Structure 1
Amino acid sequence: MRKIGRDDIDATAPLAYPLHDVNGRCVLEAGSVPAANANWPRWLNGGLYVDVGLLWRQAPCGARQCVQHAIVRLTELKQAPVENSRAFADEMTAIAALVSEAWRRDSDVMTATVMLCRDGDQAARQAVYTACVALRVLCCMDMPEAHGASVLAAALSLHLEQPLPARPLGRLGALLPRAGVDGVSGLRRRGVRDPVWLDTVRQAKRILNEDDQPLRLRDKQLSDEAQLIALADLLCASLDETGSRQAGASRAVLRDVLIEHGAHVDIRIASSLIRALGVYPVGTVVQLARGEIGVVSDLSEQLDAPWVCSLFGELGAPLAEPVLRDTRQGGNAIRESLSAMELPSPVNMAIIWGEEAADYRMPSGLLHGERQSV
């Protein structure tokens, strides 16, 4: 469900779609006139919501929306019957193309979406975010585009099948689903024949399912792509602070993942990850030495000293205007990284990165007038 604003509604016109209160209860049916109901002011003040599915009728028009759209489409694809295998590979390729489009439009916005946004189905979000991280690293590794498409599809389908009971892994406490013997039987049933896609999933599953052993990412039989996908999955699992995968104890997620597993990672993969994401990835919430709280908005040539857009003062009050800080300067140095949940209010990404970071808006006419066709 998505909250609507006062400007989204003509209270004197019949609604095209039902509206719900904060508890999900339908309070205004389609066709009703809001102003004609005595409870209208109270409901509006308390918050009214429209089915978020209506928003996906719009084509994505920014990097953030490409990622959001990919999550919704993957959620729908996961729910499709296995028998509908003919279009599965094509649809998965199309979802991977949305991730690539997000990268092409604005790679920083794509990464910030991974760090800041927790909308949609948790499992689908996990898969799409893993693909986003993998793509950013793949571009640093100069992997051929055709090969990269197969790797993105592997990231998106890594946990496609219903997982068996999860188990904790290492100090991070991330809960990783146990897979089948090779992790690709479900993909084969859905008609996948791409050898790079299948081999990457099989090997990444093997990495993530090591029993009572450290991650053996230096095994020469494991491809760079499988190592990268497994590491990206661990990173995104530790970022997610809701659902079955719990966040790591430390807030410096990327640093924790590499400290925990770096000794077992091929040095080329680890260095590519750091080079692509930096020590503080774009979208990381940080507090500066001067007390301000902001969000990493861009990397600098010094990987542990990015540019930060300060949004809140030392006491948590919003700044009159966002201020760009160069953390290479002493007074602007990063004191610590924080969870986005610790912010006084949610981040308006469009203020930092512009229209490419804009969320879906309520389309004109969606809540009143004629219904839009699908």
Structure 2
Amino acid sequence: MQTDRKIIHVDMDAFYASVEQHDNPELRGKPLAVGGGMYGVVAAASYEARKFGIRSAMPGRIAMEKCPHLIVVKPRFNRYKEISQIIRSIFYEFTDLVEPLSLDEAYLDVTENKKGIESAQDIARQIRSRIFEETGLTASAGISVNKFLAKVASDYRKPNGQKTIHPTQILEFMEELPIEKFHGIGKVTANKMHELHIYTGKELKQKSLEELVALFGKSGTYYFNVVRGIHNSEVKPNRIQKSVGVEETFWENLADEEAVFNQLKIISEDLDTRLSKKEIKGKSLTLKIKYKDFTVYTRSKTQEIYYENAKDFYLIAKQLWELRPFDKPVRLLGLSLSNLNTQEKKQVSVQLKIPFVEFT
């Protein structure tokens, strides 16, 4: 087990909902859902709403049944991206080894950091403090020797807290950890493990590698390693971008083609803007449609030359749309471009081997 790395996982607290409550003080302290309504899906829920059992990805109709006085607001993704950029700029003040997972969470390798701070716990505190000062929002953090442990730790003291799993605590911590708290073990797998009388890391650790692979396939190797605190994936600051996309979930389902085409035009322009900023082009365009009944349809067109602009995206998107009959309302449309002009770059980095420095 490698114990000389210091990894922080920073996770914003109920990010979308917290942004809405910050920008509109009248929403503070109230159960709030971003997205949803009778025909939508909850994108985020405030902590007040979570007390009623409301979670992201829950159909809005069910959320409103659980909490009849739930306040539902439309998502403002441009605003969330704006704040996310501020947060990331704070990360880069401490280290260039930042691996964003989404707008509201990221891994940071602070083994060697720009400020020469020895304690990873102190770095996490400073980052969280800076985020609050600049955005008015709270973040939670997990600190340990690898990404898996840092991710698990960040969930422990939410909201607005942090937890450190020191190298001397890893094995005991993992044995006591409930199996459903393992990052990478979802509800279905957790239920299967419960049927096998695996409830904590202690029971999982009693299974051999061969047994776990027989039961869970390739994932069995992952489970065998992480329960022993082994997870060697490094923080990857320069992920190779394989696609760029834009999706829009609609407040009300689209029931006619004119509305669909209007939205495809808007999405095409948004996609063009994102690509232009990054000087990215691609040869494969994919249309994604999610219907009212949650069925999903995708269709792509690849050409020999790069797509150039929003007009290209829109014309091809309409062609792809017309390949399928319009027989039910649409709740989501998306366009993504792949087969990009970005070239894979191998980054050679040398990780300095230094004695482990106390976290606290």
Fold match, TM over 0.5? no
Which TM-score bucket, shorter chain as reference? under 0.3
Structure with the higher strand share, 1 or 2 = 2
Structure with the higher helix share, 1 or 2 = 1
Q: TM-score, normalised by structure 1?
A: 0.25
Q: TM-score, normalised by structure 2?
A: 0.26
